[in-house]
A and B are shown apart, each in its own frame.
Chain A
Amino acid sequence: MRPFRYHRPADVAEAVAVLAAEPEAAYLAGGTNLVDLMKLGVQRPDLLVDVTRLPLDAVEELPDGGLRIGATVRNSDLAAHPAVRRDYPVLARALLDAASGQLRNLATTGGNLLQRTRCVYFQDTGKACNKREPGTGCAARHGQNRDLAVLDWSDLCVATHPSDLAVALAALDAVVEVHEPDGPRDVPLAALHRSPGEHPERETTLERGTLITAVRLPALPAARHSTYRKVRDRASFAFAVGSVAAVLDLDGDVVRDVRLAYGAVAHRPWRAYRAEEELRGRPFSPELAARAADAELAEARPLRHNGFKLPLTRAITVRTLTELAEGARS
């Protein structure tokens, strides 16, 4: 591991100023991903700016019924928060399905959104990877790509975003509060992560040195009927091979509103707007849910080893929405 300096900033403004002045510095939060990547030599910061003691660890219920989650709130505390369990079960479930108890006690809200892909080629400095080292090529494109993207990939990168939390937040229209060198700004979660395109090394739309300070959830009464379903290679403590976050609001049989997002299919959490379009205003049925998933996946381009992700994503869409519909009727 490269030697590094360590700094604990007094406030958000100082943290951002230090990052602006230090081109090879990185923020340290829970460290569950960054410390591992430093051990692997994938990330080599020369200065760590520890943000875990900044006063960003509160969960506030907002007057309009929404929720404001501080960036350093630990995943376990967020999943256990009464308002999250009551009003946004999709969020609690996504958090509880992720990692392990020990990791959730460390991992933070902001850090979770900025975690790096678990593509094995990215994590192996002996392999070509345009994300880790632009211009070196992509060993995954024609390598073992079972776990990688089916939507929106580019010839330069087929990585997926590994977060479960981000998928739930995408479905909930979350807003990310960030602090840039110029001051604070709001970024819709849907606009936080990028497609790989020509620059897979740029994963978010944030300028270098930007600090996430909070995530805001708008009030969404329908989210009381919501859930997260994750498929993985073992029963627990594994990344998704497919996942869906769903909110369903029925008026009788008719879909009044629906929010749907997929994980493990693309370089960013995938909000399924087309599927939602198919569903909205129509009487709900499993067949309709299947058609909606097909509409969303129409432009998918599976790689050599991951064609199974299309029927898998379709199946979990149908099952998850059908269960929510049955729950609403009973």
Chain B
Amino acid sequence: MQGGPEQETTTDERHSSRVAFEVNDARRELTLDNRTTLLDTLRERLGLIGAKKGCDHGQCGSCTVLLDGRRVKSCLILAVTLDGRSVVTVEGLAGPDELSPLQAAFVAHDAFQCGYCTPGQICSARGMLDEVARGWPSAVTGDLTAPAELTDAEIRERMAGNLCRCAAYPHIVAAVRETATTR
């Protein structure tokens, strides 16, 4: 992946902002250079290293988190825009000593190898299942006016924003399918 041009430094407070938002149900308030992405804020400022930086350009999905309940790519969101909003990362999906149903299904189905894409896959699947529950169609939905059925083709299309270099895709589909049918 191509890196950006070198970072220009700033000490000017006009280029920084005080931002308050919720992360995993805790209120966070911090002063940020306006250029800071949500991904870098989570990882570098808040110590939440679950969300991963794969491409930093919106192309791989490893940085996926939930913003006000919806899955988004945190590498493309400027944290300064988030005042008053609520973020959930993979760390917030279940208590510290437990697994959410999706996490348990990923373990049961060996839905990863290196695990780098996994937090993004799980957050994306979490948001995706809620989209299905709301009746949202996808590109492979035949009848746009009928409620979508979560076939394997639907799971693959809806998870297309998350790449896995280890190609654990068949197991990811199995884990998502199991979670969808048992929850």
Whole-angstrom distance between the Cβ of A55 and the nearest chain B Cβ: 16
Assess whether B8 is in contact with A1, with CB atoms less than 8 Å apart.
yes
Residues of A within 8 A of B131 (CB): 76, 80, 101
* Bound-complex Cα distance A237 to B60 (A): 10
Assess whether A103 is in contact with B73, with CB atoms less than 8 Å apart.
yes
State whether the Cβ of A136 lies closer than 8 Å to any Cβ in chain B.
no
Assess whether B157 is in contact with A35, with CB atoms less than 8 Å apart.
no
Query: Which residue in B14, B34, B137 is a CB contact (below 8 Å) of A96?
Result: B137
Residues of B within 8 A of A237 (CB): 160-161
* Bound-complex Cα distance A194 to B7 (A): 34
Whole-angstrom distance between the Cβ of A77 and the nearest chain B Cβ: 9
Assess whether B14 is in contact with A40, with CB atoms less than 8 Å apart.
no
Q: How large is the interface on B (under 10, 10 to 19, 20 to 34, 35 or more residues)?
A: 35 or more
* Bound-complex Cα distance A36 to B1 (A): 13
* Closest chain A residue, CB of each to CB of B11: A3
Assess whether A80 is in contact with B134, with CB atoms less than 8 Å apart.
yes
Say what secondary structure dominates the interface of chain B: loop
Question: Given contacts A101-B124, A102-B71, A105-B71, are A4 and B34 in contact (CB under 8 A)?
Answer: yes
Which of A84-92, A168-176, A246-254 binds B? A84-92
Whole-angstrom distance between the Cβ of B170 and the nearest chain A Cβ: 15
* Bound-complex Cα distance A329 to B12 (A): 67
The 8 A CB mask of B134-178 against A (1 = contact, 0 = none) is: 111111010011000000000011111110000000000000000
Residues of A within 8 A of B8 (CB): 1-3
Question: Given contacts A32-B76, A40-B4, A236-B157, are A3 and B15 in contact (CB under 8 A)?
Answer: yes
State whether the Cβ of A151 lies closer than 8 Å to any Cβ in chain B.
no
State whether the Cβ of A186 lies closer than 8 Å to any Cβ in chain B.
no
Assess whether B137 is in contact with A39, with CB atoms less than 8 Å apart.
no
Assess whether B76 is in contact with A52, with CB atoms less than 8 Å apart.
no
Assess whether A101 is in contact with B161, with CB atoms less than 8 Å apart.
yes
The 8 A CB mask of A3-29 against B (1 = contact, 0 = none) is: 111100000000000000000000010
Assess whether A31 is in contact with B76, with CB atoms less than 8 Å apart.
yes
**Chain A residues within 8 Å of B, Cβ to Cβ:** 1-6, 28, 31-32, 35-36, 38-41, 48, 50, 52, 76, 79-80, 82, 85-86, 89, 92-93, 96-97, 99-103, 105-106, 124-125, 235-237
User: What are the nearest 3 A-B pairs in CB distance?
Assistant: A100-B161, A236-B160, A3-B10
